[in-house]
Amino acid sequence: MAAASDTWREAAATLCHWVDARLERFRPAVSAGPNLLRDVTPFTELSMIVYALAPTRFRIWPATTAERLWPMLEELGARRPPETIGRHPRSAELLLAFPLLEDVTGRRSLCHDEVARVMGEPASMLDGELARDIAGATDCREAAERELARLLDTWDGGPTTTSWTYAVTHALFYATKLGRRRLASPTAYGPALGTLARRAAEARRWDLAAELLVALAWARLDGGRDADAGRDALAAVALEEGSVLSDPRVPTTHANEFESRYHATVVALAALAGDQR
């Protein structure tokens, strides 16, 4: 990743302000019924960004944000005990915020032992295995790099589907443990992925562009001038709007402002936050 420009850092700070002002909206709802995963997803995704940025030069904001999220984490454990969540088919994902925030804060949750027991069970999907990896129960890098190789080996460098592109970014997230380790088998696709990021930004598909840019950063792949152009565009919209709209085809209203912007905003924050290591 190229050294961050002052504009990228300014944009990242702007996005931090948006998150700070809406931190209560990230609080897990932990409602009863089948929507538990949806209810904790914003909280977990913000915790992932905090974890990824904690060891970087941008470390002050993730450290203070983790402290603000900690009471919400303990509340989640009290309201939905891990042994109950453990019966959910995607339990590892539901509990991912616990090892993430424990790492950043250096604290031990009141639910630590129960979470560890749930995390000790193999997960059926790679995102669940990432959760177990963060918790120290496994190492998902080999499986994630196999999946990445499978996806890239089928690509001829031409147009891609949205689902394929997100699958590639997620494989890079898992293989690098959200930027905390290097790829065992670095790919030569950095420039091509940078081109995809630029094209996504030109199409104002900000969520997709941000995912590609942060995947390049966490994997320490050089996306070239195209990636820098994507970051410039992402920074410009962040500075203009104060946040990043995930899908410009969906108009923002007061009712859906948070839901329509939070994901692209936190991922863009990670992509623009500066030198990753």
Asked if residues 216 and 197 have their Cβ atoms less than 8 Å apart, the reply is yes
CB atoms within 10 A of CB 78: 11
pLDDT score of 243: 96
pLDDT of 2 over the 60 cut: no
Q: What proportion of the chain, given as a percentage, has pLDDT over 90?
A: 74
pLDDT score of 4: 67
At residue 274's C-alpha, the angle toward residues 167 and 48, to 5°, is 45
Helices 206-219 and 257-272, axial angle in degrees (round to 10): 30
Q: How far apart are CA 124 and CA 80, in angstroms?
A: 22
Task: Using only the alpha carbons of the chain, give its radius of gyration.
Answer: 18
CB atoms within 10 A of CB 95: 31
First to last CA, the chain: 9
pLDDT of 207 over the 90 cut: yes
With tokens 């962040």, the residue in question is 238
Phi, psi (deg, nearest 5) at residue 55: -90, 10
Residue 1 — pLDDT band, cuts 50, 70, 90? Answer: very low
Q: How far apart are CA 68 and CA 74, in angstroms?
A: 11
The residue length of the chain stands at 277
> Would you give the distance in Å from CA 217 to the centre of its chain?
12
- What mean pLDDT, rounded, does the chain reach? 91
pLDDT score of 169: 97
pLDDT of 269 over the 50 cut: yes
Phi, psi (deg, nearest 5) at residue 131: -60, -45
Locate 180 and state its tokens: 């905390």
When mean pLDDT is compared across 75-84, 169-178, 212-221, the lowest value belongs to 75-84
At residue 51's C-alpha, the angle toward residues 12 and 60, to 5°, is 50
pTM of the entire predicted model: 0.94
Phi, psi (deg, nearest 5) at residue 270: -65, -40
Locate 40 and state its tokens: 């904790």
pLDDT of 30 over the 90 cut: no
Q: Average the pLDDT over 119-128 and give the result.
A: 90
pLDDT score of 91: 86
Q: How far apart are CA 187 and CA 194, in angstroms?
A: 13
Residue type, 54: A
Greater pLDDT, 60 or 274:
60
Q: How far apart are CA 95 and CA 132, in angstroms?
A: 9
Residue type, 51: Y
Q: How far apart are CA 169 and CA 219, in angstroms?
A: 10
pLDDT tens-place string over residues 31-70:
655 567 788 999 999 999 999 999 998 999 999 999 999 9
Q: How far apart are CA 9 and CA 240, in angstroms?
A: 14
Residue 79 — pLDDT band, cuts 50, 70, 90? Answer: confident
Pick left, alpha or beta for residue 109 (phi over 0 → left; psi -120 to 50 → alpha; otherwise beta). Answer: beta
Q: How far apart are CA 48 and CA 174, in angstroms?
A: 11
